[in-house]
Structure 1
Amino acid sequence: MYKLPKEHGEKSPHQGEMYLLLEKGSEGWSKGKGTVNDTTGALGRTVGQLYSQGQNTEVAYILYNDQKPLDDFGDGSVGNSGGTRGHTKGVVLLDKNQGFWLVHSTPQFPPVRQAGQYYYPSSGVVNGQNFICVTYPLDRFQTIGEQLQINQPNVYDCDVPGSLASLVPSLAALCKKTHLSGHIFPRVKPVSNRSMTLTSKEGTKFISFAKGASFDQDLYHSWVAPSLQSDLLVQFWIRSTGILPSDCSLGWKVLDITLINPGQTFTFKASQDHSKWAVSPKAAGSGSGGGWVCVGDINRNQAEEKRGGGTVCLQDPVVWKAYRTAALECEACGGGTIQC
């Protein structure tokens, strides 16, 4: 899902809550129904399931975000985990049969379950945001929990009932130890980085890349590009300090995207987009299922080399085309702007 940024101009129909949707079996981006703040929209129907469950002992969930939602007192304060935990955002919701893992880029999202209802935060409206949501069978969630442990996420709300704790001990441990100081497992040296193939309920293969603080390198250039054996065009939040420029060393070109137009909606600068996604500039060889697309939660900057985070990648011709055509201009290695 691509949440479009707020377009300049009072008369613009794009006021920061419109979104594009890319569903399995579709031919490309389609205009989302309603807005991201509607409970009837794609995001509201998905995440909203958490609030309709109530205190259900047959459902487990993990909410994590380096910028947690407004506190319970509603005084406007924002929790920020700084550099102590991963720059990583997501939702895990599952029962004894299946569940979903949603990786996204929106600060202060979603609200805690105790809030009682779904809503989209104002902090995520102005800039573009990205979401990847995949339904997995139950047996994949132990691996997902292990990937999250590497990320060292800031878990701000969770519940893994006893009926599920023995089935997904990694998620149970993540929830139980989240409020302890230090690392999630302070007695065990955390894994630096790990990639795992995760097959969705319907058989689509995704690759989860998870890095911890000890990896201490750029996710995309040092690891994802050489792993996928592909150059990458990367969109990320460029309005922060220590931004890493485009890099053509090590045999792989990783170029920073500067201008975007997803789904031929309207053109906006990377500075208006808080999304973190990457796309291979060319489709792979015949029979390979198209080029690569990765959607994640970490930026290309010096500070985040030393923080946990990751991305989820897939190879699909329709998804690849949707993202590839969105990237219009990039920063060339050595400076200057080129057509992507």
Structure 2
Amino acid sequence: MAGYRTLMTFLVGIVLFQGGDSDVKCRDDQGNVVDWYILYKLPSGTGDGLSYLYMDESTNGWKVSKKEINSKSGTLANTLKPLLDFYKKQTEGFGYMLYNDQPPIGTASASYGHSKGVVMLDKKSGVWLSHSTPKFPQYRTQDFWPSSGSVNAQTFMCVTYSFDKFNEIGLQLEYIHAYPYDSAIPTTFPNELRCVAQRSCYPKKEPWTRVKNLTSMNGRDFSSFAKYTRFGDGECLHIRLMIKVF
């Protein structure tokens, strides 16, 4: 009888785990799930360099956040929570990759793309947080915000995607030749992400550009434009995401 109860408890645990909601999503200042958001951190000349403007589909334009950008309860902290929790206790079924051409540790060679971002996901959903901040997020610490990031204006764009979109996201990151400085990608996650995390893949032949439509969890279409250094127009490697407004 005891063995039967143990087996039933185990099976119920599996069902609850499989049916549970994903925590890996973009989140606002209150911790609410949002499909996407854009942050604009104001430069230090307009205050302490930690204030920011916030926008998502519900705000009807920019609003001034009551939080500071480095707040442990602000938009960035709420969004990064799965990663910060993983630093404390590693759990199965979660993966991440942090890339930055101006990393908090080490140095990225000039061959890597001028790009910065955070990718986090589980087997249901994930976020792609692209941004402009050098040394963000700081390496494996709860204090994710670098003090150097407070001087200049900075931008952040977070989009929530389903798990099946991250193979395409990985391909886009190949084209910009992103420089990962920290990652943990399970073997069951998209190979496209894993090879970028391992710095082992990049475009080998033409075309040297890639344009891909990516649809968010809530059905919003984003267009992602990426190019490799051999595109040959003399500009920096880059990636852009644009909201299509219909």
TM-based fold match above 0.5: yes
Matched, 1:208 2:224: yes
Contact 1:153/1:308 (<8 A) preserved: no
Deviations 1:267-298 (A, max 9, x none): xxxxxxxxxxxxxxxxxxxxxxxxxxxxxxxx
Distance of 1:190 and 1:32 partners within structure 2 = 44
Where do residues 276-295 of structure 1 align in structure 2 (5 Å cutoff)? none
Where do residues 261-276 of structure 1 align in structure 2 (5 Å cutoff)? none
1:32 pairs with one of 65, 71, 84 = 65
Match of 2:132 in 1: 105
Deviations 1:178-212 (A, max 9, x none): 2x6xxx248x3375111100000001000000111
Distance of 1:127 and 1:190 partners within structure 2 = 37
CA RMSD of aligned residues (A): 1.8
Match of 2:24 in 1: none
Contact 1:38/1:119 (<8 A) preserved: no
1:310 pairs with one of 236, 239, 242 = 239
Deviations 1:64-91 (A, max 9, x none): 000001x3xxxxxxx4424211001000
Counting aligned pairs with the same residue, the percent is: 39
Where do residues 189-200 of structure 1 align in structure 2 (5 Å cutoff)? 189=205, 191-200=207-216
Contact 1:37/1:120 (<8 A) preserved: yes
Consecutive unaligned residues of structure 1, counting only runs of 5 or more, are: 9-13, 72-78, 218-301, 318-340
TM-score (norm 1): 0.58
Q: Structure 1 residue 43: deviation in Å?
A: 1.0
Match of 1:42 in 2: 75
- For the residue of structure 1 that corresponds to 2:45, the secondary structure is coil
Matched, 1:52 2:85: yes
CA shift in 2, pair 1:185/1:213, >3 Å: closer
Distance of 1:192 and 1:36 partners within structure 2 = 36
Contact 1:47/1:118 (<8 A) preserved: no
- For the residue of structure 2 that corresponds to 1:202, the secondary structure is coil
Q: Structure 1 residue 49: deviation in Å?
A: 2.4
Contact 2:175/2:202 (<8 A) preserved: no
Runs of 4+ in structure 1 deviating by more than 4 angstroms, as ranges, are none
Consecutive unaligned residues of structure 2, counting only runs of 5 or more, are: 1-38
- Given residue 154 of structure 2, which amino acid in structure 1 is its aligned partner? Q
Match of 1:64 in 2: 99
- Given residue 146 of structure 2, which amino acid in structure 1 is its aligned partner? P
Where do residues 162-177 of structure 1 align in structure 2 (5 Å cutoff)? 162=187, 164-165=188-189, 168-175=190-197, 177=198
Contact 1:63/1:90 (<8 A) preserved: yes
Distance of 1:158 and 1:190 partners within structure 2 = 28
Distance of 1:211 and 1:185 partners within structure 2 = 11
Contact 1:32/1:42 (<8 A) preserved: no
CA shift in 2, pair 1:314/1:185, >3 Å: closer
Contact 1:62/1:159 (<8 A) preserved: yes
Distance of 1:191 and 1:81 partners within structure 2 = 25
- For the residue of structure 1 that corresponds to 2:169, the secondary structure is helix
Deviations 1:20-76 (A, max 9, x none): 10022221111113111111010111123201123122101110000001x3xxxxx
Distance of 1:191 and 1:27 partners within structure 2 = 39
CA shift in 2, pair 1:202/1:63, >3 Å: same
